Amino acid sequence: MRHFSSDGGQPGSADWRTVRLLLPYLWEYKWRAFIAISFLIGAKLAVVSIPIVLKHIVDNLNQPKALLVVPLALLFGYGLLRLASTVFSDLRDIVFAKVTQRAIRRVGLEVFKHLHNLSLRFHLERQTGGVTRDIERGARGISSLIHLTLFSVLPTLIEISLVAGILFAKFDWIYAAITLVVLVIYIVLTISITEWRTQLRRQMNEMDSQANTKAIDSLLNYETVKYFGNEEFEAKRYDSSLQNWEVAAVKNQTSLGMLNAAQAAIIAVGVTIMLIRASRGVVAGQLTVGDLVMINAFLIQMFIPLNFLGVMYREIKQSLTDIERLFKLLNVNREVADQADAQPLLVKGAEVQFDDVKFGYDSNRGILQGVSFTITAGHNIAVVGTSGAGKSTLSRLLYRFYDVNDGVIYIDGQDIRQVTQTSLRAAIGIVPQDTVLFNDSIYYNVAYGRPTASREEIVEAARAAHILHFIESLPNGWETTVGERGLKLSGGEKQRVAIARTILKNPRILILDEATSALDTQTEKIIQAELKEIAKNRTTLTIAHRLSTIVDADQILVMEQGRIVERGDHRELLAANGVYAKLWALQQEEAKSST
């Protein structure tokens, strides 16, 4: 994994660091790069040869009886050179296309993988709209940077060097000196103003990301907005970010106008001085008319692309800024990472042990206060307690979304921090309380439990989760799209899809986190019976709110404020007349009052 150093250096040093990080991705097809540069040089040699041929054409035509001595060879040569300049440029683009697109693909894939490897903490704190915008702009920035530097700036610099060399060799040194002085003044002015404008561009990007984040967040919470009638509030909130973006965008556009005007003035002065001097040379007989035409053609060819150097430099700086933000995502610390010598988890009986586990999501908020328990292989332990007691945190730690602050979690005697995360999570299946589905077909969402499964296995998993009849009753059947986060399905339907894909995964360790909380009573009884069948011979951790669903558990843990305050089976806990007995009595009263 490559890392971007975000130290507080000068902007230029950050740009060079970004370029150095990008180069390895381009180097994969280095021979294509060399061939493309060869075509680039060939195109520029053809371009600078055109004014020279044009000079000879004019001089040949500027003779007595010129109409009888038309320089056909020179005219054909002129046409061939123009064709060659275009063909070489096209060949350059064809050869280099794979280099650019492969670099974009590899960087995008590495960022995507890295985001999936980051801890749950990052994804809970991230702003999805801003992250997706950074990735999108970064990928576009790579393409722009490569195109501008290799196909715009580099060719222009090569052409300038060739033109200055020809002017110095063919005429006196003053022509080359004027050319170089104008270029130096132009480049210094362009860089100075553009560096200032880059700060404005960064502000624009920040405002753009903020606005996009608020828009995405609002649209993802569409139902909540509607529940509270806050459409106008959301619009004003979004518009406040757009106003900040508008101010930054106006400053950016105004400064661009100032830069373009200054560049045009410098070019106009330089061209005028050169043509005045060349015209005097023609009058004095030191130069031919063809020389004047050649100098004019050189200046036109050189200064037309140079006129866009400011735009190119600005776009390059913008691309570097966008790529910098993309590489910063790669530098986000992987809070939970495999150790260098991590080995695959060896599952035998799948015994799970929490040994004096202490954990808090931040230093000021402790969640688990020394939790210890063991789930014997093939047994079912249920955890109950009030909200915030730390029940769901147990499943997150077992999945290793976070690492414990103190203590150890073992599976078959292996510290889960010393095994690979892939093998650990392959051994665990979960039916979460809040099921989130992909905006794809029902078939895709069920098959996600094991993408390599056959259709027959997927259908059987749906049958076991008691959702097959519902799927087959839909007009589009398995191909029915569930919508963003599964919003087209009811809570119970989503939960049964989650159960189906967990059945399909066929894990050795099963976590049921309020697995039937969204189901009606009748369906809950059916699913509970099925879950009991699934849990047979599997190590199961059941997190429950309704105590009636876990009366058959081998052991029940009662948690309060991050500690286990009671443990035992259902009868033992009722006999103890403690916290569990009170919760049971309360839920029994609620059940009676609701009937």
> What would the pLDDT profile of 544-568 be if each residue is shown by its tens digit?
888 888 888 899 999 988 899 999 9
Among the three residues 485, 506, 527, which one is the final residue of a domain in this structure? 506
Same-domain check for residues 306 and 219: yes
For residues 134-150, give the mean pLDDT.
80
Same-domain check for residues 311 and 367: no
The pLDDT confidence band at residue 397, using thresholds 50, 70 and 90, is very high
Residue 250 pLDDT > 60, yes or no?
yes
Residue 11 pLDDT > 80, yes or no?
no
Q: 45: which strand partners?
A: none
CA distance 514 to 434: 9
CA distance 396 to 140: 36
Same-domain check for residues 581 and 568: yes
Least confident of 66-80, 421-435, 522-536: 66-80
pLDDT at position 4 is 43
Q: What domain count does the chain have?
A: 3
In a domain, 6, yes or no: no
Q: What is the DSSP string of 302-327?
A: HHHHHTTHHHHHHHHHHHHHHHHHHH
DSSP state of 394: H
Least confident of 256-265, 404-413, 522-531: 522-531
In a domain, 532, yes or no: yes
Return the SS3 of 587. Answer: helix
Same-domain check for residues 502 and 562: no
Per-residue pLDDT tens for 40-62? 888 888 888 888 888 777 777 76
Residue 153 CB neighbours (<10 A): 17
In a domain, 5, yes or no: no
pLDDT at position 206 is 82
CATH number, domain with residue 590: 3.40.50.300
Residue type, 60: N
CATH number, domain with residue 71: 1.20.1560.10
The pLDDT confidence band at residue 14, using thresholds 50, 70 and 90, is low
CA distance 93 to 100: 10
In a domain, 2, yes or no: no
Percent of the chain with pLDDT over 70: 90
pLDDT at position 125 is 63
**Contact between 371 and 390 (Cβ < 8 Å):** yes
Same-domain check for residues 514 and 583: yes
In a domain, 265, yes or no: yes
pLDDT at position 1 is 45
Which run of H or of E encompasses 414?
A: strand 414-415
CA dihedral 101, 107, 110, 113 (to 10 degrees): -70
CA distance 387 to 198: 49
pLDDT at position 591 is 67
Same-domain check for residues 349 and 498: no
In a domain, 280, yes or no: yes
Same-domain check for residues 459 and 517: no
The torsion angles phi and psi of 98, rounded to 5 degrees, stand at: -65, -35
Same-domain check for residues 422 and 445: no
Q: What is the CA radius of gyration of the chain?
A: 35
CA distance 125 to 49: 59
Per-residue pLDDT tens for 401-453? 889 989 999 999 999 999 998 899 899 998 887 778 888 899 999 999 899 99
Among the three residues 506, 521, 538, which one is the final residue of a domain in this structure? 506
Among the three residues 330, 350, 377, which one is the final residue of a domain in this structure? 330
Q: For all residues of the chain together, what is the average pLDDT?
A: 82
DSSP state of 443: H
Identify the domain containing residue 476 by its residue range: 437-506
CA distance 550 to 531: 11
Same-domain check for residues 200 and 126: yes
Same-domain check for residues 423 and 385: yes
Per-residue b/e over 289-298, b at no fewer than 16 CB within 10 Å? ebbbbbbbbb
In a domain, 385, yes or no: yes
pLDDT at position 7 is 44
Per-residue pLDDT tens for 510-524? 998 876 665 666 766
The dihedral sign for the CA sequence 224, 230, 235, 238: negative
CA dihedral 145, 147, 148, 154 (to 10 degrees): 120
CA distance 324 to 319: 8
Per-residue b/e over 486-499, b at no fewer than 16 CB within 10 Å? beebeebbbbbbbb
Residue 208 pLDDT > 90, yes or no?
no
**Contact between 390 and 357 (Cβ < 8 Å):** no
Least confident of 190-199, 299-308, 320-329: 299-308
Residue 480 pLDDT > 80, yes or no?
yes
| pTM greater than 0.85 (yes/no) | no
CA dihedral 530, 533, 536, 542 (to 10 degrees): 20
Residue of 372, 394, 404, 402 lying closest to 509 (CA atoms): 394
CA distance 546 to 566: 17
**Contact between 252 and 197 (Cβ < 8 Å):** yes
Which ranges in 407-538 belong to alpha helices (H)?
Answer: 421-426, 442-447, 455-464, 468-473, 491-505, 521-535
Contacts 24+ apart (CB under 8 A), 280-285: 281/171
For the ranges 187-191, 197-201, 463-467, the maximum mean pLDDT occurs at 463-467
Burial class (CB in 10 A: 0-12, 13-18, 19+), 76: exposed
Same-domain check for residues 466 and 539: no
For the ranges 9-23, 221-235, 321-335, the maximum mean pLDDT occurs at 221-235
In a domain, 378, yes or no: yes
* For helices 30-61 and 289-306, angle between their N-to-C axes, nearest 10 degrees: 150
Q: Is 506 left (phi over 0), alpha (psi -120 to 50) or beta?
A: left
Residue 179 pLDDT > 90, yes or no?
no
CA distance 518 to 515: 8
The pLDDT confidence band at residue 65, using thresholds 50, 70 and 90, is low
460: tokens are 């059987």
The more confidently predicted of residues 303 and 368 is: 368
Which ranges in 119-172 belong to alpha helices (H)?
Answer: 120-125, 128-148, 154-170
Which run of H or of E encompasses 567?
A: strand 563-568
Residues 6+ apart with CB under 8 A from 255: 193, 196, 197, 200
Same-domain check for residues 484 and 354: no
